[in-house]
Structure 1
Amino acid sequence: MYLPWRFVKRSGARPRWSAAVVAVAVAALITSPPAMGAGQRPGAGHQLANATAWAQDGFNAANTSYNANESIINAATIRKVTRRWRITVPAFPSDCPTAQAPVVAGGRVFLVDDGGVAAFRVGDGRLLWRWNRPVAEPPGRVHLAVVGGALVVGVAHCGSVSDPTGSLSAFDVGTGTVRWSRSLPVGSLVTDQGLVVVSDTSASEHPEGIVRAYRVTDGVQVWSREGVANRSNVSAKGRLLLSRYAGGTVCVATSTGAVLWERAQPYEGVLAASPAGDRFFVVDFDRVLRAVNAGTGATLWSRPGVDIHFGNDTVATDGRRLFVAVGLTLTAYRADTGAVSWTRTLNGGVGQPIRAGGLVYTVVSADTGSSLAILQAASGAPAVKGTAYRGAVDHPVIVNGRLYLRQSGALSLYRP
């Protein structure tokens, strides 16, 4: 069994560290949170009744970056939001790995840092457990997803592009106990229907690409398909859009890998699926933004000249609008027709949009630093004047009346 990180469990009020782990732990030190705000109980939020999970980086398998259940943080309360706790996290020494937003589920916040992955308590930011990457293990780009009681961790180590290495593992969310692990580089990862689907493009073993699906409960491989790559972290209600090595696109069933339909049209990236799962939003190699029927592959509408670069970090959709970040602008398109609803030019490069509580959030990076722009989703008008949350390094996560944000070597929680 291949274990990507050394496991260290917090026990009681103070953790006990073995001598072999101390060197790694010091490099990945996470400080205790400051005193809690007024009215905040120790452990509050540890078990949240009827809580919503931000289970994958794009919120869900469709990569919508849209939390339809958020109602506490909205246009009326956003100015009342204040920081309730802050924890420092090790800075990343290079572009690989890069800082990324946390995932939140089961009263816990799961966060990647330069030393590994850590789990914190929602109520007060207390460290519950963490994995420390062994010193000899190379750093890597990490994908996180919570499925039921498992935290799935996919890693593609930094280094060789032609012959990458990595791992795919599942851990118990409550204790950090290893459930299963596989050795393979994880180029993309999406969880849906009890499966975790990953793409492996190792040139030595699978030069034409291979996509595999594993059962989350026990790590058993359910299906695989060669000659294809999954260039996205998107599943549209049980459908995956894969790129053929020989050209064109194939849509397969997430549960079985069976072909549902094929098209000669290649796509550079699958950006998201609609919340209803009835369409994919894609970009092709000619910079044409398209809405594609998930059931047939037919193009529903197209917008040429949208200079989206390959990746999953440029759009959000609430089913009514598609929010697209390009350069200095954030544009809202009608999801049904592709018509422009509004466009707003900001004072720096615009990052991943996030939609929740009637608002849309995006990190703006300028020469003077980064900050968080917060706009009205319906009109694009500012919901907060000026700049806020300076030093933001990745998109916020808004769930259960809490806003989580990485800022200049720290993770902070804000709430009204």
Structure 2
Amino acid sequence: MKLLLAALLALPVPAPAATPTWAQEGYGPGHNFYNPDESVINASSVGRLRPRWAVTTPAKPGTCTFQSAPLASGGRLITTDPGGVTAFAPATGKRLWHWDFRVPHEHFGQLALDGDRAIALTNPCDPTPGRGKAAYLTALDTSTGAQRWRVTMNQFTNIMVIDRGVAVVGNWGGFGDEPDTTTGYRVSDGAQLWRVTGYRLDRGVAAGGRVLLRSSDNKTTRTVSSTTGKLVWAKAQPWASLAASPDGSRFLVSTDGDGVTSVDAATGRVRWSTRHDGALADDGRHVFLPYHETVETYDAISGRLVRVTPTAARGGQPVRAGGLLYLTLEKKPTAVLDARTGRAVATFTGIRQTPVVVGGWLYTSDGTTLRGYTVS
């Protein structure tokens, strides 16, 4: 008996199941709209997807913030609304907590989750001449909504990515009396870790601990470390990041709307390019790019065009999860395609906005109402 007990104690203890997570716009720091962990909603079950609950945000006159698409982590759905940030129960839509904006006309710029923190990047709705340019970076406890820290920044900004415990914030720009800057803040306490002047973060994208910045004169690009701001490489190209591969080895960049280019994130070497760009999804094997009334599928490594799938209308932001590709269509039902073949699997008339697919649920918001769908 003692030997049996000893043997049982020596067996490895299974790790607890990971909590379903969609922590940033586009799933993670790569902004590639690919959830590799979804398995419940797939080609065989998506046809049984049904609405389960809906929550409408109370109107607040004079605000410029709407309900955002939700983020998911730690058994919470977290979204913004005209009055602040709200957490809901994923399976019921029950409101768990609400954090109120701290200044009049404060509004949402970007929201991201990291561990037990929700990081909200906000600005005033209407800049007031002579009163400075104040943006705010606020950390909330995802379990309770308690404010952990808050940083005031003398700028307007709505661009952020969280990578390796650092919130990288890009200056909104366009005001003429301040240089473009990109700044890294530590998520645990809000401390400023680094700043790069003369370069801006065009989109909240990070690849393997690196962020790609474009110069103020739109002539050069540099990639810096997410954690230190130190230079990794620079190129005489005006690239703007669109996404990164799931493994962080590649940036997908645009040059003023003229094609998607795949760039080695460690060296800046160009791998391949397309003739046009737009909203895309990258699952590490394929890049999905809507173009006019089609979806083009490219081999993610070589850039070879694999297929062109016709669609009923122009497509919006594609989402990859559970072997499926979700694509909202202009004035048409949302299309669901088999990601391997391009075959149409299902359509949904009630889903008009880019969905968040996580933990066997599909969530979508139209700016005022958050809806949850799951398989019957």
- How do 1:4-403 residues align onto structure 2 when only pairs under 5 Å count? 49-90=17-58, 96-97=64-65, 99-133=67-101, 137-138=104-105, 140-160=107-127, 165-184=134-153, 185-202=156-173, 207-246=178-217, 247-267=219-239, 269-285=240-256, 287-304=258-275, 306-308=276-278, 314-366=279-331, 371-384=333-346, 387-390=347-350, 392=352, 394-403=353-362
How big is the alpha-carbon RMSD for the aligned residues of Structure 1 and Structure 2?
A: 2.4
Against the structure 1 CA distance between its residues 380 and 139, is the aligned structure 2 distance closer, same or farther, given a 3 Å change threshold? farther
Q: Which amino acid aligns with 2:266?
A: G
Q: Deviations 1:234-293 (Å, cap 9, x if unpaired)?
A: 1101011101124200010111000011000111x2111111111100111261210001
Q: Which amino acid aligns with 1:358?
A: G
Q: Deviations 1:352-378 (Å, cap 9, x if unpaired)?
A: 111000001121121xxx532111111
Q: Which amino acid aligns with 1:213?
A: G
Q: Which amino acid aligns with 1:397?
A: V
CA distance in 2, matches of 1:131, 1:88: 17
What TM-score does the superposition give when structure 2 sets the normalisation length? 0.87
CA distance in 2, matches of 1:284, 1:149: 36
Q: Is the 8 A contact 1:201 1:208 kept in 2?
A: no
CA distance in 2, matches of 1:391, 1:60: 22
Q: How many Å apart are 1:51 and its aligned residue?
A: 1.6
Q: How many Å apart are 1:232 and its aligned residue?
A: 1.2
CA distance in 2, matches of 1:139, 1:365: 31
Q: Which amino acid aligns with 2:178?
A: P
CA distance in 2, matches of 1:266, 1:383: 39
Q: Is the 8 A contact 2:67 2:367 kept in 1?
A: no
Q: Is the 8 A contact 1:404 1:413 kept in 2?
A: yes
Aligned length: 355
CA distance in 1, matches of 2:124, 2:292: 29
CA distance in 1, matches of 2:351, 2:43: 22
CA distance in 2, matches of 1:93, 1:289: 40
Q: How many Å apart are 1:95 and its aligned residue?
A: 11
The more displaced of 341-350 and 120-129 is 341-350
Q: Is the 8 A contact 2:280 2:289 kept in 1?
A: yes
SS of aligned partner of 1:137: coil
CA distance in 1, matches of 2:175, 2:47: 54
Q: How many Å apart are 1:197 and its aligned residue?
A: 0.6
What TM-score does the superposition give when structure 1 sets the normalisation length? 0.79
1:11 aligned partner: none
Against the structure 1 CA distance between its residues 213 and 400, is the aligned structure 2 distance closer, same or farther, given a 3 Å change threshold? same
Q: Is the 8 A contact 1:92 1:113 kept in 2?
A: no
Against the structure 1 CA distance between its residues 327 and 117, is the aligned structure 2 distance closer, same or farther, given a 3 Å change threshold? farther
Larger % of strand: which?
Answer: 2
Q: How many Å apart are 1:74 and its aligned residue?
A: 0.1
Q: Which amino acid aligns with 1:339?
A: R
